[in-house]
Chain A
Amino acid sequence: MSAHGLAIRGAGVSMRRPLAYGALMAALLAAIVASLALGAVKVPVQTVIDVLLGKEVAGPDRQIIETLRLPRMVEALCVGAALGVAGAILQGALANPLASPDVIGVTGGAGFGAILIIILFPGSIALLPLGALFFGLLAAAIVFAIAWSGQNRGSTGKVILAGIAVLSLFTAGTTGLLAAYPEKAPSAIFFIAGGLTSSGWEEMGSIWPYFAAGFVAALFLIRPLDRLALGDDVASSLGSKPHMIRLGAAVAAALLAAASAAIAGLIGFLGLVIPHLVRMAGGSSSHTFVVPASAIGGAALLVAADTLARTIRAPIEMPVGPFMAILGVPLFLWLLRRVV
């Protein structure tokens, strides 16, 4: 077992990846259609397709899909893809299978920022996404400033230790705030447990540039991360600076994870598990495969889980986290059993 994860024996490498891509795309399409069709009002699949194709549709179905379900589905799609990609590039850059956006402090910072707004500025709840984004990036910036200075700058150990220390600091701040204002705690739970809302396009309107920047950066990092997988020496031989690749990956992951927290609260698990799931399914840890496949897999899992979360006890909406685990963990464990 290497730091980059595990591979399953069996089918040849050449067939495994197209099969895995096919399965992930099918899961994503199914999840998208289900998320648009299901809810308090069930819309027939044919009508969903007609709306998406811009055809005439009678009744309120068009409005339900276009103003409520489509924005929410797109949010879930972006957040799921962002967390999958953030996990994939961090695990690659830090050569650590347990890396996720938590270890660079983003999650802790975003949680603190959101709770700060909820407790101190309850009248300006619209600021919550920006508060989460700002503190998420601030926490990551502190981690980078410490880990990328002095001796051994940018080493994996330094990044992870700095990240865990900063995470503890912000988590302590969050816990302190909640303990000091216990009456505000219930409104914070939805953010901490993680979940999406049907609030239209407004949130995405201010957050999308961070997603875009993170995804573009991740695209440019794929090849450098493949070099880094062969070790710092091979990456250096090929003209890269290993600590700069790690910094680039950490910044991209911080943007993606902070933007995700701003939209959907603290969604753990996905960023950690999806890259492993994808590697095991595709039998490869090549980033050319793992990064795009993690985007598709993360999007499929979050869209599917969100659909379950808002329909299973409708009209009550459940936090999405537990449903992600219910869908993802059995699949993960099944794949883990087959690993060499």
Chain B
Amino acid sequence: MSAVATATPLLAASDLEVEIAGTPILRGADLQIDGGELVAVVGPNGAGKSTLVRAVSGLQPYSAGDVRWAGRVLAGLRGRELARMRAFVPQRMPVPAGVVVREAVTIGRSSHLRPLRRLQGEDRGAIEAAMARAGVLRFAERQLSTLSGGELQRVQIAIGLAQETPVLIADEPTSQLDLGAAVGIATLLRGLADEGLAVLLVVHDLALAVAVADRAVVVSEGRTVVSGDPGEILTSDLLGSVWRADAELSAVDGRTALHVAWLPKEGVRAP
């Protein structure tokens, strides 16, 4: 499924360390992605998944390690250059009053505009294409405050697409969505990867990760512990050691499921 790997990966990060207020959050994390690849970053709460993708995106300063975008060191990139490399889609953005979808997506294009310069034809084309691809044209004139969670997530992805970057990074885009909306977002992201985009996805839902990702990167206690085909690496043993849960992933007819022992076996309940 993945495209031909180039000599220089689009994103290569190694030995990344991040401290927040003196507490080490990342203690040695590696991450790589190339065009056409959908990589899922998975791990328990507090393991450092979001911190990892924020650090490589330039949203979170790191204390040690190396991050390169298309071979160029992150620290050496100006904001405008970085904005042409990757788009970061937060879990949920604030919703300013009275702003309609089309305006919000237009803001996503602003990294391509010179200060005070108006939109060019090329920019309008990119905005329309981003809205069409993310499936938001139907409600393009509606105010953000009237959208459902799934619709708003699509708008956020459209904002990222308007940036026209080779890499799209989405931080838990489905965790607040209902089933149908989550399926829609998963399909959209998989489709974007199939069209050649590199998609980096932070996700809690392991069944979703197994279904859509080419590769999973498991983060545990600030370290990337294993990376590979999600169906192969997310074993029952790993779910036990990293998530401390008795669980197993299964895939039948393209449907994936996570089977969890919610209560201790032998019918013994906690007193």
Interface residues in chain A, defined as those with a beta carbon under 8 Å from any beta carbon in chain B = 1-7, 12-14, 95, 151, 219-220, 223, 226-227, 229-231, 233-234, 236-241, 279, 282-286
Contact = CB atoms under 8 A, between A and B. Distances in A.
A25 to B, nearest CB: 20
Interface stretch (B25-33, B37-45, B66-74, B75-83): B75-83
Across the A-B interface, give the 7 residue pairs with the lowest CB-CB distance, nearest first: A239-B83, A239-B79, A284-B98, A233-B90, A237-B88, A7-B98, A7-B97
A7 B99 CA distance: 9
A236 B81 CA distance: 12
Interface string B122-137: 0000000000000000
B96 A229 contact: yes
B163 A226 contact: no
A203 to B, nearest CB: 30
B45 to A, nearest CB: 19
Contacts of A223: 107, 110, 113, 115
A283 B107 contact: no
B108 A238 contact: yes
24 contacts: A2-B97, A12-B141, A13-B98, A13-B143, A223-B115, A226-B110, A227-B110, A229-B96, A229-B107, A233-B93, A234-B88, A236-B57, A236-B58, A237-B83, A237-B163, A238-B83, A238-B110, A238-B111, A239-B78, A239-B80, A239-B82, A284-B97, A284-B99, A286-B103
B104 A283 contact: no
Contact of B94 (A151, A226, A229, A284): A229
B245 interface: no
Interface string B47-74: 0000000000111000000000000000
A230 B107 contact: yes
Contacts of B116: 219-220
Classify chain B: how many residues form its interface, as a range: 35 or more
A38 B78 CA distance: 55
Contacts, number: 104
A227 B146 CA distance: 20
Given A237-B88, A238-B111, A241-B79, 17 more contacts: A1-B97, A2-B95, A7-B98, A151-B21, A223-B110, A223-B113, A230-B107, A233-B59, A234-B88, A234-B108, A236-B57, A236-B88, A237-B87, A239-B78, A239-B82, A284-B99, A285-B98
B186 interface: no
Nearest to A4: B96
B33 to A, nearest CB: 16
Nearest to B168: A237
Contacts of B143: 7, 13
B159 A286 contact: no
Given A236-B88, A238-B111, A13 B100 contact: yes
B96 A230 contact: yes
Contacts of A95: 94
Nearest to B83: A239
Contact of B111 (A1, A239, A279, A285): A239
Contacts of A7: 97-98, 143, 145
B93 A234 contact: yes
Nearest to A224: B110
A14 B100 CA distance: 10
Contacts of A6: 97
B173 interface: no
B150 interface: no
Contacts of A284: 97-99
B96 A286 contact: yes
B160 interface: yes
A238 B163 contact: yes
A3 to B, nearest CB: 7
Nearest to B82: A239
B161 to A, nearest CB: 12
Contact of A226 (B78, B90, B107, B171): B107
A233 B96 contact: no
Contacts of B78: 239
Contact of A2 (B58, B94, B104): B94
Contacts of B108: 234, 238
A3 B95 CA distance: 9
Contacts of B58: 236
A279 B97 contact: yes
A4 B108 CA distance: 19
A231 B59 CA distance: 12
Nearest to B112: A238
A4 B97 contact: yes
Interface in B148-194: 156, 159-160, 163, 171
B43 to A, nearest CB: 20
A219 B116 CA distance: 8
B98 A230 contact: no
A284 B81 CA distance: 31
Nearest to A152: B21
